[in-house]
Amino acid sequence: MKLKGRRIYRGVAEGEAIVTKDGISFYGGVDPDTGKVVEVGHELEGQSITGKILVFPMGKGSTVGSYTLYRMKKNNTAPAAIVNKQIDTIIAVGCIISEIPCVDKIDVNEIKSGQRLFVNGSEGTVEVR
Amino acid sequence: MKLTSDEQDMLDGKHGKAIRKSMEILTTLGEIFEAECMVDVGSVQIAGVSYTNLGEAGLEFLSDMAEDGKVKVLTTLNPAGMDRENWKALGINEEFAKNQVRVIDAFAKMGIITTCSCTPYFIGNVPHFGQHIAWAESSAVCYANSVIGARTNREGGPSALASALTGKTPKYGYHLDENRQGQVSIKVKAQVRGTDEFGVLGKAIGDRLINLGKNVPFITGIPSATVEELKSFCASIATYGGTALFHMEGITPESDRYPKPEGNVLEVNQKDLEKARSELVDVCPEVDFVSVGCPHASISEIEKIAGLLKGKKVKKEFWITTARPIKKIADEAGYSKIIEDAGAKFAADTCCVVAPIKGRFKGMLVDSAKACYYGRASNKFKVRIGTVEECVEEATK
């Protein structure tokens, strides 16, 4: 199955999907040293997003979150790619400065955690393999 | 998005790494928000300066950009985490100070004026009516759009920096006439006076706007307001309502430019103000910290504080936060000596919101509704709002 969305940041990535219906705030909500979601009560609380294709509806929270993604990239704890239903400024800018492939306008309900995904940020596509 | 050949060259990396990265940020935002083209900006205000918020990652990003990035337009900075001269007296530790200096140096290397203030419009970064700018700092964005009539979206740290290095911003949102019209009418049926009360009004309206999902209020019933009152109002309505632009009949320059909003007129009366004020007062057995100057104090506010403090002694930690150039004017006018002789402290370049003082005090008294929000959220203080007179009285009690 190949889903067509919109290109946000170029590059390709392949990996395991980790999917949530909750929004993600990188500033305060994700630990950049461990790559784990730490927001209390979050669907992914305690789970690592490192090296995975992170699929969620939309970002939330402080604009400092863009810098948190950058820090994760430098720490090798960043997700391999990000797939959103609707992009917001914080995630878009975070992916651009960290060079993380990113696609939006994808129906994230079509994707299940554990599936193998191929993301093409340049084309704006997500392939479920 | 349509780009000029010069803009395309920037995106293709012909003007270096920092400009390429900047153009990637701006074109992506432009595409997300469906801008047709870029527009030249007259000036930039950058947020994300305190080392507390940036951390090593943010600093690393700035250092990378500073390798070959130089600003193309006048660019000023938001407050830092400390007073650059007086940090020791304010209890800031050495390691934090070292890191804060590294941040400011990275900005300086790019040609940014390191003023470190949330009131750039008091100290030389003053756009004209209708001018396109790219500002971060929500209170200054609201002031520039509403009180001055310049045009800016609410930028974040990296997008504002990208505009500084390219001189461009994507033309969407508040850069366009159609998004600047009032969306909801609000009639204020109460007397509003003083920076604290205008902050309370900003919260009362801001909370309503969030519930309504509206962005641009058209406000009537305010016969007059000082610059300082408007500054406080801007900070508060931006904090509680996410508001980047309001119109105030008879006061702001675009208030009669567009058709009035259709639909019901919402009223804000004395009771609404009392309720909003009560939400800015915690049960707080002890006030051990008083701070005035959120957003940064004007020279008139400092004159007033000096008058109130003359001949008295401060018994609690009392900060007056302001921009360094304003502090210099206060020095020359003799206000600083009166204030410092009374035992109060100037905290220039910084403020009670971004300084690393989390948990250092129990209860904070301020004249700013915005400072109440961040005092609670970021610094874990109990907070109380009061007039400037009450702030001075509490500090000397």
**CA of A70, closest CA in chain B: separation in Å?**
6
Give chain B positions within 8 Å (CB) of A103: none
Residue A36 forms contact with B (CB below 8 Å):
no
Q: Rounded to a whole number, what is the distance in Å from the CA of A36 to chain B's nearest CA?
A: 17
pLDDT at res. B42: 98
Q: From the list B25, B32, B158, which residue is nearest A87 (CB)?
A: B32
SS3 B192: coil
Closest to B35 in 3D by CA, of B106, B104, B101, B132:
B132
Q: What is the pLDDT of residue B52?
A: 83
Average pLDDT of span A74-88: 95
- Please give the pLDDT value at position A56: 96
Nearest CA to B48 among B26, B80, B23?
A: B80
| Distance (Å, whole) CA B314 – CA B393 | 9
Chain A positions in Cβ-Cβ contact with residue B136 (cut-off 8 Å): 63
Q: Which of A9, A66, A68 has the CB atom closest to B158's CB atom? A: A66
Q: Could B156 and A66 be called an inter-chain contact, meaning their C-beta atoms sit closer than 8 Å?
A: yes
- The nearest CA of chain A is from the CA of B192 a distance in Å of 31
Whole-number pLDDT of residue A64? 78
- Provide mean pLDDT across the span B109-129: 97
- Measured between alpha carbons, how far is residue B307 from residues B25, B250, B304, B318, B337 in Å? 48, 31, 5, 15, 12
Transcribe B362-379 into DSSP letters. SEEEES-HHHHHHHHHTT
CA B124, B129, B133, B138 dihedral sign is positive
Residue A32, preceding peptide bond in cis (omega within 30° of 0): no
Segment B34-53 shows an average pLDDT of 94
Section A70-84 average pLDDT: 95
Scanning the structure block, which residue is given the tokens 């130089």? B70
A87: contact with B, CB 8 A cutoff: yes
For the record, the structure tokens of B368 come out as: 């700013």
* Structural contact between residues A94 and A68, judged by C-beta atoms closer than 8 angstroms: yes
Q: What is the pLDDT of residue A28?
A: 81
Chain A nearest CA to B371, separation (Å): 17
Any B CB within 8 A of A18 CB = no
CB-based contacts of B333, cutoff 8 Å, min separation 6: B299, B303
Query: Which chain B residues have a beta carbon less than 8 Å from that of A84?
Result: none
The C-alpha atoms of residue B249 and residue A87 are separated, in whole angstroms, by 36
In Å, how far is B391's CA from the nearest CA of chain A? Answer: 30
Mean pLDDT of chain B: 95
Cα–Cα distance, B189 to B174 (Å, whole number): 29
- Left, alpha or beta for A74 (phi > 0: left; psi -120 to 50: alpha)? alpha
Q: Which residues of A are identified as catalytic?
A: 62
pLDDT at B17 over 90: yes
* Mean pLDDT along residues B196-225: 94
Q: Buried b vs exposed e over B95-131: b needs ≥16 C-beta within 10 Å?
A: ebbebbbebbebbeebbbbbbbbbbbbbbebebeeeb
Which residues of chain B have a CB within 8 Å of the CB of A93? 25, 28-29, 156, 158-159
Task: Select the residue from B12, B22, B24, B50 to test the A interface by mutation, using most A Cβ atoms within 10 A.
Answer: B24
Which of B55, B56, B158 minimises the CB distance to A93? Answer: B158
What does the pLDDT look like over A9-52, one tens digit per residue? Answer: 999 999 999 999 999 989 888 999 999 999 888 999 999 999 99
pLDDT of residue A40: 83
Sign, CA torsion B254/B256/B262/B265: positive
In the predicted model, what is the mean pLDDT of residues B185-193? 97
Is residue B97 over pLDDT 90? yes
Integer Cα distance of A81 and A55 in angstroms: 9
**Residue A93 is inside which H or E element, if any?**
helix A89-98
* Region label for B45, one of left (φ > 0), alpha (ψ between -120 and 50) or beta (otherwise): beta
For range B81-86, the mean pLDDT: 94
Least Cα distance to B154 among B166, B130, B138, B171 occurs for: B138
B336–chain A nearest CA distance, Å:
35
Contacts of residue B1 in chain A, CB cutoff 8 Å?
none
Rounded-to-integer distance, Cα B267 and Cα B348, Å: 39
> What is the pLDDT at residue B388?
98
Specify whether the CB–CB gap between B142 and B245 falls below 8 A.
yes
**Which tens digits make up the pLDDT trace of B152-174?**
999 989 999 999 999 999 999 99
Size of interface A-B (CB pairs under 8 A): 61
Give residue B57's pLDDT band: very low, low, confident or very high (50, 70, 90). Answer: confident
CB-CB contact of B202 with B295 (8 Å): no
Cα dihedral value B47, B151, B203, B205, nearest 10: -160
**pLDDT band per the 50, 70, 90 thresholds, residue B215:** confident
- Top pLDDT among B16 and B213 is at B16
- pLDDT number for residue B148: 98
Please give the single-letter amino acid code of residue B235: A
A58 vs B: CB within 8 A: no
Mark out the alpha helices in chain B (DSSP H runs): 5-11, 17-32, 51-66, 94-109, 138-143, 157-166, 194-212, 227-241, 270-278, 299-309, 324-333, 335-341, 369-377, 388-396
* pLDDT exceeds cutoff 80 at A62: no
B341/B358 Cα distance (integer angstroms):
27
CB contact under 8 A, A67 and B57: yes
Q: Residue B159: which of A68, A70, A93 has the nearest Cβ?
A: A93
**What residues in B contact A70, CB-CB < 8 Å?**
57-58, 60-61
A67/B61 Cβ within 8 A: yes
Closest by Cβ to B24, choosing from A32, A63, A96? A96
CB of A56 within 8 Å of a chain B CB? The answer is no
Contacts of A102 in chain B (CB under 8 A): none
Q: Is A120 on the interface with B (CB under 8 A)?
A: no
Least Cα distance to B144 among B164, B122, B168 occurs for B122
B56-67: average pLDDT: 92
Amino acid identity of B194? G
Average pLDDT over residues B333-355: 95
pLDDT(B211) > 90: no
**Dist CA B10 CA B4 (whole Å):** 10
